[in-house]
Amino acid sequence: MRRFSAFAIAREAVRHHSGWEKHWRSPEPKKRYDAIIIGAGGHGLATAYYLGKNHGITNLAVIEKGWLGGGNTGRNTTIIRSNYLQDASAAIYEKARSLYETMSQDLNYNVMFSPRGVMMLAQTQAELRGYQRTEAANRLQGVPTRMIPPEEVKKLVPIIRLDGPRYPVLGALWQERAGTARHDAVAWGYARACSDMGHDILQQTEVTGIRREGGKVVGVDTSRGAIDCARLGIVVAGHSGALADMAGFRLPIESVALQALVSEPIKPIMDVVVMANTVHGYMSQSDKGEMVIGGGADGYNNYTQRGSFHHIEETVRALIETFPMLSRLKMLRQWGGIVDMTGDRSPIISKTPVDGVFINCGWGTGGFKAIPGSGWAMAELMAEGASPLAAEFGLERFREGRFIDESVAAGVAH
- Together in a domain, 243 and 313: no
- Together in a domain, 267 and 129: yes
pLDDT tens-digit readout, 348-363: 999 999 999 999 999 9
Reduced to 3 states (helix: H, G, I; strand: E, B; else coil), residue 96 is helix
- Together in a domain, 317 and 371: no
Closest C-alpha to 71, from 349, 298, 300, 258: 258
112, with CB counted inside 10 A (0-12, 13-18, 19+), is middle
Range of the domain at 357: 30-78+183-252+344-410
Q: Whole-angstrom Cα distance, residue 79 to residue 7?
A: 32
Asked if residue 299 lies in contact with residue 220, where contact means CB atoms within 8 angstroms, the answer is no
pLDDT tens-digit readout, 47-103: 999 999 999 999 999 999 999 999 999 989 999 999 999 999 999 999 999 999 999
401: left (phi over 0), alpha (psi -120 to 50) or beta: left
φ and ψ of 113, to 5 deg: -65, 130
User: Domain total for the chain?
Assistant: 2
376, with CB counted inside 10 A (0-12, 13-18, 19+), is buried
Q: Does the residue 206 lie in any domain?
A: yes
Q: Does the residue 231 lie in any domain?
A: yes
Q: Does the residue 107 lie in any domain?
A: no
- Together in a domain, 197 and 329: no
Asked if residue 159 lies in contact with residue 328, where contact means CB atoms within 8 angstroms, the answer is no
**pLDDT at residue 310 in the model:** 79
Asked if residue 179 lies in contact with residue 80, where contact means CB atoms within 8 angstroms, the answer is yes
Given a cut of 60, whether residue 413 has pLDDT beyond it is no
Among residues 342, 373, 401, the one where a domain terminates is 342
395 alpha carbon, distance to own chain's centre: 20
- Together in a domain, 291 and 244: no
Q: Does the residue 158 lie in any domain?
A: yes
pLDDT tens-digit readout, 154-167: 999 999 999 987 89
Asked if residue 207 lies in contact with residue 63, where contact means CB atoms within 8 angstroms, the answer is yes
- Together in a domain, 242 and 306: no
Among residues 285, 318, 342, the one where a domain terminates is 342
Q: What is the mean pLDDT of the chain?
A: 93
Given a cut of 90, whether residue 279 has pLDDT beyond it is no
Distances (CA, A) of 311 to 285, 315, 317, 321, 322: 20, 6, 10, 16, 18
**pLDDT at residue 183 in the model:** 95
- Together in a domain, 158 and 298: yes
Q: What is the dihedral of CA 296, 300, 303, 309, to 10 degrees?
A: -60
- Together in a domain, 334 and 350: no
- Together in a domain, 338 and 350: no
Among residues 324, 342, 360, the one where a domain terminates is 342
- Together in a domain, 41 and 72: yes
CATH code of the domain covering residue 373: 3.50.50.60
Q: What is the 3-state secondary structure (H, E, C) of 139-165?
A: HHHCCCCEEECHHHHHHHCCCCCCCCC
- Together in a domain, 338 and 259: yes
Question: In sequence order, what E strands does 248-355 have?
Answer: 253-263, 273-276, 281-285, 291-297, 331-342, 348-351
pLDDT tens-digit readout, 101-149: 999 999 999 999 999 999 999 999 999 999 999 999 999 999 999 999 9
φ and ψ of 264, to 5 deg: -60, 150
CATH code of the domain covering residue 338: 3.30.9.10
**pLDDT at residue 67 in the model:** 94
- Together in a domain, 242 and 267: no
Reduced to 3 states (helix: H, G, I; strand: E, B; else coil), residue 254 is strand
pLDDT tens-digit readout, 374-400: 999 999 999 999 999 999 999 999 999
